[in-house]
């Protein structure tokens, strides 16, 4: 399910089109300028004005009492479960969720937590599946403490959880004394595509975070929000995990800039993803999952080319994509233009013809 890109040979074809991930974005010149001009202080003692501004804005955006700036989204997830749970507790999440597939077993290694994988199409579990996975609270079974949802669902194809399903999951969790955590790695992609505000999307969720190093284009960082008491405990784990920083305003300034300039333009990435899917679908034998946001999953086997061979052939032409869960994933972002999408489709067609 996970992938490890092979080290690039400096003699290989230079990368011209990077569809590997939206984490590949580079800070724009204007973002770099904002970083250079950032007002900074000691973040660890609450003395960095730019970090404080960012946290206030995200807390307001998500409708929570407080927020904290973290070096990565993974640290947001790990710190959240370390606050919500105790050793031996059980977390429920979709079987393809980032906390299961892509965080190195951190939740088990650091917290001693058990994660139960819930099945479901397109990276999402149905509320009824969640309900049926609950068990009576007895000494024979682990306490079920947290349910987590990933918005958007990465391995599911960048799909968007319906608001009604999110609300029902919250209702079930509350009636069973459980906390709710939203992995918001691409939360704003979901908001832009659906027209639902981030505040409404995360309403009722005890903790939620935004990743700034993906489609928002910042070089580093995520911000997790929740109640003041919850964030106080997250800070304790941030300190323990080595995530407390000093003049972090330089990084936070990029995130503030992204909130001001890079949210609405996520719609451009979604349009490019649809254009890519449309072009690939016109190639005979190509199986393409129609995108809801900025991720396009496709399988070229029916066109006579294996996924691994297609990825390698495109790499040799300067186009980077990833094999993930047996399919090819292409990810659009602010460094990908419509012209690059057209060129990628043309190259895929050329490779298929050659096969």
**Do residue 40 and residue 136 come from a single domain?**
yes
Write out the H or E segment, with its range, that includes residue 57.
Answer: helix 49-62
**Do residue 185 and residue 295 come from a single domain?**
no
**Do residue 185 and residue 198 come from a single domain?**
yes
The CATH number linked to 292 is: 3.90.1150.10
**Do residue 62 and residue 188 come from a single domain?**
yes
Tens digit of each residue's pLDDT (9 = 90 or more) over 225-238: 999 999 999 999 99
CB 272 within 8 A of CB 290: no
Query: Is residue 350 included in any domain, yes or no?
Result: yes
pLDDT for residue 314: 98
CB 114 within 8 A of CB 90: yes
pLDDT for residue 1: 41
**Do residue 51 and residue 173 come from a single domain?**
yes
Cα–Cα distance for residue pair 94/136, rounded to 1 Å: 21
pLDDT for residue 307: 97
pLDDT for residue 253: 98
CB 98 within 8 A of CB 127: no
Instruction: Tell me how many domains the chain contains.
Output: 2
Helix (H, G, I), strand (E, B) or coil at 156: coil
Pairing of strands 17-18, 319-320: parallel
The CATH number linked to 210 is: 3.40.640.10
**Do residue 36 and residue 174 come from a single domain?**
yes
**Do residue 231 and residue 316 come from a single domain?**
no
- What range does the domain containing 127 cover? 29-261
**Do residue 239 and residue 295 come from a single domain?**
no
Task: Select from 123, 60, 112 the least CA-distant residue to 82.
Answer: 112
**Do residue 151 and residue 292 come from a single domain?**
no
CB 118 within 8 A of CB 125: yes
Domain end residue (candidates: 232, 261, 290):
261
CA 335 to chain centre: 18
pLDDT for residue 325: 87
Cα–Cα distance for residue pair 47/262, rounded to 1 Å: 27
pLDDT for residue 12: 72
pLDDT for residue 3: 44
Query: Is residue 5 included in any domain, yes or no?
Result: no
DSSP string computed for 100-151: HHSSTTHHHHHH--EEEEEP-GGG---HHHHHHH-----TTS--EEEEEEES
Cα–Cα distance for residue pair 16/5, rounded to 1 Å: 17
Can you list the residues of the chain whose pLDDT is less than 50?
1-4
pLDDT for residue 10: 52
């Amino acid at each position: 399910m996970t992938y490890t890109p092979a080290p690039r040979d400096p003699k290989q074809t230079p990368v011209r089109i990077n569809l590997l991930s939206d984490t590949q974005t580079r800070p724009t010149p204007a973002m770099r300028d904002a970083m250079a001009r950032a007002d900074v202080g000691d973040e660890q003692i609450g003395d960095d004005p730019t970090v404080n501004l960012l946290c206030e804005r995200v807390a307001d955006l998500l409708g929570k009492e407080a927020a904290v700036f973290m070096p990565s989204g993974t640290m947001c997830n790990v710190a959240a479960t370390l606050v919500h749970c105790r050793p031996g507790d059980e977390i429920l999440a979709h079987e393809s969720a980032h906390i299961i597939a892509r965080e190195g077993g951190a939740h088990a290694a650091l917290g001693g937590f058990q994660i139960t994988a819930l099945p479901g199409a397109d990276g999402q579990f149905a509320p009824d599946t969640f309900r049926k996975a609950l068990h009576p609270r007895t000494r024979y079974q682990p306490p079920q403490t947290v349910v987590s949802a990933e918005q958007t669902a990465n391995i599911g194809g960048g799909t968007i959880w319906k608001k009604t399903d999110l609300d029902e999951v919250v209702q079930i969790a509350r009636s069973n004394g459980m906390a709710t955590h939203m992995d918001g790695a691409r939360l704003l992609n979901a908001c832009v595509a659906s027209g639902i505000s981030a505040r409404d999307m995360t309403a009722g969720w005890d903790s939620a975070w935004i990743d700034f190093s993906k489609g928002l284009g910042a070089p580093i960082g995520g911000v997790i929000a929740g109640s003041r008491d919850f964030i106080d405990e997250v800070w304790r784990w941030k300190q323990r995990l080595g995530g407390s920083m000093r003049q972090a305003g330089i990084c936070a300034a990029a995130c503030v800039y992204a909130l001001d300039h890079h949210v609405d333009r996520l719609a451009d990435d979604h349009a490019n993803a649809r254009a890519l899917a449309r072009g690939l679908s016109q190639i005979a034998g190509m199986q393409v999952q129609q995108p809801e946001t900025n991720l396009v999953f496709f399988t070229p086997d029916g066109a006579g080319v294996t996924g691994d061979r297609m990825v390698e052939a495109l790499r040799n032409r300067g186009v980077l994509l990833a094999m993930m869960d047996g399919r090819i994933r292409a990810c659009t972002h602010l460094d990908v233009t419509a012209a690059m999408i057209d060129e990628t489709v043309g190259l895929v067609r050329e490779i298929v013809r050659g096969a």
